[in-house]
Structure 1
Amino acid sequence: MNKKVLIVEDDVVFCKILTKFLTKNSYEVLDAQNGKDAIELMEMNKFEFAILDYRLPDMNGIEILEKLKTQNKEAKTILITRYGDQDVASKAIDKGADAFISKPINPDELLAVIKGL
């Protein structure tokens, strides 16, 4: 059975690239471009992994992380954001994120982080 991954990224093109890449690598991927849609997906699915962009149009990735962890403490989470947001990284780790990656993201590096969790 493929591991189920949630990607929350408001850059539609980048989101679809990651979705396609992870699907080719045997993951079942659902994606959302905002927090509201992400929460709806979390209510209907149990995810093993979540890749969360920090800056979203309606909330931030840490808020989604907190909601995900209340529903599924075992879910592994990776927070992504633009280079230089180190205060965000420490907040994310404090709230339960398993990894933090700065943009731009190399999909192969992301896959290595996922496999390492």
Structure 2
Amino acid sequence: MINKILIVEDDIVFCKMLTRFLVKNGYSVSDAQSANEAYTHLGQNEFDLAILDYKLPDENGIDILKKIKGSSPATKVILITRFSSQQVEDMAEQAGADAYISKPIDPSDLLIQIQKM
């Protein structure tokens, strides 16, 4: 069951909107706007789910995904991206992503995806 979620998204408005939406739906949510911030959160907490943007200012979501799966294989990961391509989707799958979602994201659809995990 998913309770604790980390969102890593450099678009601060979108990130905060997703955070508020998921908190209103009963989840404990932390958010970060960079890989470095994400690693700080990951070092201090355990998460059931990480929602990772592919394109970040300091790394990409695949790099974070690999580190999460390397240290906590049970953590579910959803990779999100505006730059959808088969190559990125294949890299996400090979790195262990549990889901891949192209932007724009409907929060209700994301919630359904989370509830299925």
**Matched ranges for 1:1-117 at <5 A:** 3-82=3-82, 84-117=84-117
Q: CA-atom RMSD, angstroms?
A: 1.4
Q: CA deviation at 1:83?
A: 5.0
1:55·1:81 contact (CA, 8 Å) conserved in 2? yes
1:54·1:81 contact (CA, 8 Å) conserved in 2? yes
1:83·1:104 contact (CA, 8 Å) conserved in 2? no
Separation (CA, whole Å) in 1 of partners of 2:85 and 2:57 = 17
Structure 1: stretches of 5+ with no match in the other structure: none
User: Where has structure 1 moved over 4 Å in runs of 4 or more?
Assistant: none
Give the aligned length. Answer: 117
| TM-score with structure 2 setting the length | 0.96
Separation (CA, whole Å) in 1 of partners of 2:53 and 2:88 = 11
Q: CA deviation at 1:85?
A: 2.0
Q: CA deviation at 1:86?
A: 2.2
Paired amino acid for 1:55 = K
| TM-score with structure 1 setting the length | 0.96
Separation (CA, whole Å) in 1 of partners of 2:99 and 2:107 = 15
Separation (CA, whole Å) in 1 of partners of 2:83 and 2:63 = 20
Separation (CA, whole Å) in 2 of partners of 1:32 and 1:107 = 18
Structure 2: stretches of 5+ with no match in the other structure: none
Sequence identity percentage: 53
